[in-house]
Structure formats: structure tokens, C-alpha cells
Amino acid sequence: MPIQVGSSDDDGAGRCRALAQAVNPGNGNALRAVEVPGAEHAGDRLMGPITVRDPVADEGSFFVTGRVPVVQMAPNVEQAYAARERVPRLFRRQP
């Protein structure tokens, strides 16, 4: 299962790659981080750009700092449609 992360995301792709590596040993390498060039946070969504408070951004820093981090969601229509094409292809390849 891909975790799509934009190369221009506020937090980068490193934490998503680390999550996949941590989960994979006991789960048959089920996760992989896929970096989408130029995409920002939520770049695969069809909505206008907004700034939101995201309690799971920055690896759940809310639970460490007590402050919910602010994240800029900058969707990209082209990337959103490309993401919607990638996921069904993944499931068609599964045995």
C-alpha cells in the first residue's frame, strides 16, 4: 500500500519512509512511501488551498508539545487525478 507524500510537504518524506520501514518487517513489506515530486501536504486532494491545524502532523507533536501544528494544504488537481489512477492499479496487481 503506498503512502503518497509530496516532496514539498511541510514535513518531507523522511517520516513516512521511517513509518513504512518500521511497520514492514512484520507485515510482508505492505507499505511503501511514494514521493510525489512538487506536491505539498494534501496535494492529492481536490479542494482549494487552506491552512489547518493537524494533530497528527509532525509525527504527533501535539502529544509532545500540547500544541497542534499548522499545516498548509495545497492541493494540485493534476496530482490528485494521478493519485486516483495509481491506487486502483496497485489493487489490480495484487494476487
Q: Which domain holds residue 16?
A: 2-93
**60 conformational bin, left if phi > 0, alpha if psi -120 to 50, beta if neither:** left
* Interval 36-84: pLDDT, tens: 888 877 777 777 778 877 766 655 554 566 777 777 777 778 877 877 7
Nearest to 68 by CA among 56, 77, 84, 51: 56
For 17, counting Cβ atoms within 10 Å of its Cβ (0-12 exposed, 13-18 middle, 19+ buried), the class is: middle
Q: Kindly state the helix (H) or strand (E) to which residue 59 belongs, with its residue range.
A: helix 57-60
Is the pTM higher than 0.75? The answer reads no
Looking at the 3D structure of the chain, how many domains does it have?
Answer: 1
Question: Does position 34 have pLDDT exceeding 80, yes or no?
Answer: yes
Q: Which three cell numbers stand for residue 52?
A: 489547518
